[in-house]
Structure 1
């Protein structure tokens, strides 16, 4: 059986690494030379919107998925006429536009920060007057890892942000007074079987994920049920198949949804070595209609991203219990090059190991 993956980056690579032991073969559609996926499957070189490349890519594959949410929706729809595509193209349409995403959340009674649509400077000024400052101005499309957004703190920063981001569809969101950032990953199979991973606590710097902990320390059963119920609402609405990640702000009044990712997610990388079935394997199982595996970690699990630089294999693996995952990418500032996973029987033990891994990452990059 052959699985097609749109995108040849590290997420596609890790999906293939999880599926190869199941006897699966993989083909990737990727425009760049020497992508991370090159060592784990066949690569069809071509643009994501090139009809000829799409046809060559889909010929002979049994199912298609994708590793990033900016796949052209028309391409996904074209492919779905020939081969099953999961998650469904509708999920891409929602995730690619922050306004549509927020409106979908609201329609499903999933709380969000107050927001306003902005297309002109006059609409920006009116939104700032209505929402107040601080706020965040974001492009509606193509932003990730903190890109395509600016914090609005005063009149001067509003002018600077408009100068940088104006001229394209935008959205302004109120600043949220939150205790921490959480993510909830769930996976649903073609058969309808559903599994929910434990809530994850995430730590970001400059908009880029640095560390994750699972289960989120101090999380209550009530809060975990709240998150799962909200994500299940989205899964049902989208007729979803595969892994879906939703990022939340935890506030005194409950959870506010920040954004969704219709794919495997950086905050779920700990699951590779946490003791349960990883998000990557469960995603592959889901799109093939296979039984899903137990996602629960054994004890506590965590992850540290390697950003901008890579420690030696010896230093990384010499840290207590660390598992190293490298993506085969050339270092450059702000680039995710790999991650370190670790697990422990106690939260205290996890914190000690994460602190050690964080120091290693910081010495060699931007950890």
Structure 2
């Protein structure tokens, strides 16, 4: 089977690496000339909206998916009209507008921080009066890894935030003094069968995910699964769905969904019985879903900007290196490592050895 993937970044790369043992081949459509997944399949180098190339993409594959949620929803609809497309285009659209996303959570009875749309400077003042300070002004579309948002701590911050973000649809959200950030990764098959990975505790710095640790038997696992299942069923979802939550006062608050395989699930490559990447492919291809059980203590550590020397990483027991073939660049995810161990104590020791290789400016 040849699978088409809209986007050819590191997620597409890892999907292809998981798919070749299943005898899948891949064709990618990506506007980047040097997209890091390109060597793992046929690469159509064109803008996502180029309908002639989109038609060529559809002719080249038997079913399609995407690894980048900012692919225009109309592009996914164009593809879905010609070949089976999973997750469905409506899931892509649901994750592209933060206001629509929050309203969907409200409709599904999933708790969220207070929020208001902001379309003018006066509306920002009104939102701040209603929501209170601190709060966060965000672009409704695009924006990832901390981009497209500004934290408002005092009224003196409003003008600068407006100057930075005005000119596009915005949303203002209450700032959540969270105790933890969790993500729930679910896989839903074509027949509606769902499986869940253990919830993952995430640590961010400068808006970029740094470390993800699966938490076996977390007390919020069942609640996270309930919320994620509601979204997946509402969207008639197929594939891997990630739902990110804030934990405050021991309760979950919905932050955002990612309708694709997700950075916080990279630990599953070595840490779970079947990785999120293989399970996504199983789901969209109509194969039985694989076990999501944790093999043992593990975590994922992102390399931001640059990666330590491979020789030094390989010298640490239990460290599995994944480099994406990307040139070093500030704030860019260039790779990650999964750390596995026989015990939690051993996992922390190995993490400390890895962290010692990271320059302070990159930590």
TM-score, length basis structure 2: 0.98
Q: What is the aligned counterpart of 2:327 among 305, 309, 330?
A: 330
- In 2, Cα distance between the equivalents of 1:196 and 1:360? 33
Provide the residue aligned with 2:260 in structure 1: 263
> Higher mean Cα deviation, 30-39 or 132-141?
30-39
Residue 253 of structure 1: how far off its partner (Å):
4.6
CA contact (8 A) 1:299 1:345 kept: yes
Residue 230 of structure 1: how far off its partner (Å):
0.6
Provide the residue aligned with 2:218 in structure 1: 219
- In 1, Cα distance between the equivalents of 2:3 and 2:222? 33
Provide the residue aligned with 1:366 in structure 2: 362
Equivalent residues, number: 363
CA contact (8 A) 2:27 2:60 kept: no
Provide the residue aligned with 1:36 in structure 2: 36
Residue 338 of structure 1: how far off its partner (Å):
0.1
- In 2, Cα distance between the equivalents of 1:278 and 1:214? 13
Q: How does 1:226-237 map to 2 (within 5 A)?
A: 226-237=223-234
Residue 361 of structure 1: how far off its partner (Å):
3.2
Provide the residue aligned with 1:122 in structure 2: 122
Residues 1:57 and 1:338: Cα distance change in structure 2 (over 3 Å)? same
1:134-187, Cα deviation, whole Å (9 max, x unpaired): 000000000100000000011221111001111211000001121110000000
Provide the residue aligned with 1:283 in structure 2: 280
- In 1, Cα distance between the equivalents of 2:245 and 2:359? 26
- In 2, Cα distance between the equivalents of 1:241 and 1:276? 20
CA contact (8 A) 1:340 1:357 kept: no
Provide the residue aligned with 1:353 in structure 2: 350
CA contact (8 A) 1:304 1:361 kept: no
- In 2, Cα distance between the equivalents of 1:350 and 1:265? 22
Residue 355 of structure 1: how far off its partner (Å):
2.2
CA contact (8 A) 1:303 1:354 kept: no
1:303-323, Cα deviation, whole Å (9 max, x unpaired): 110010121111111112100
- In 2, Cα distance between the equivalents of 1:46 and 1:137? 33
For structure 1, which runs of at least 5 residues remain unmatched after alignment?
none
TM-score, length basis structure 1: 0.97
Residue 362 of structure 1: how far off its partner (Å):
3.5
Please state whether the residue corresponding to 1:90 is helix, strand or coil: helix
Moved over 3 A (4+): none
Does 1:101 pair with 2:101? yes
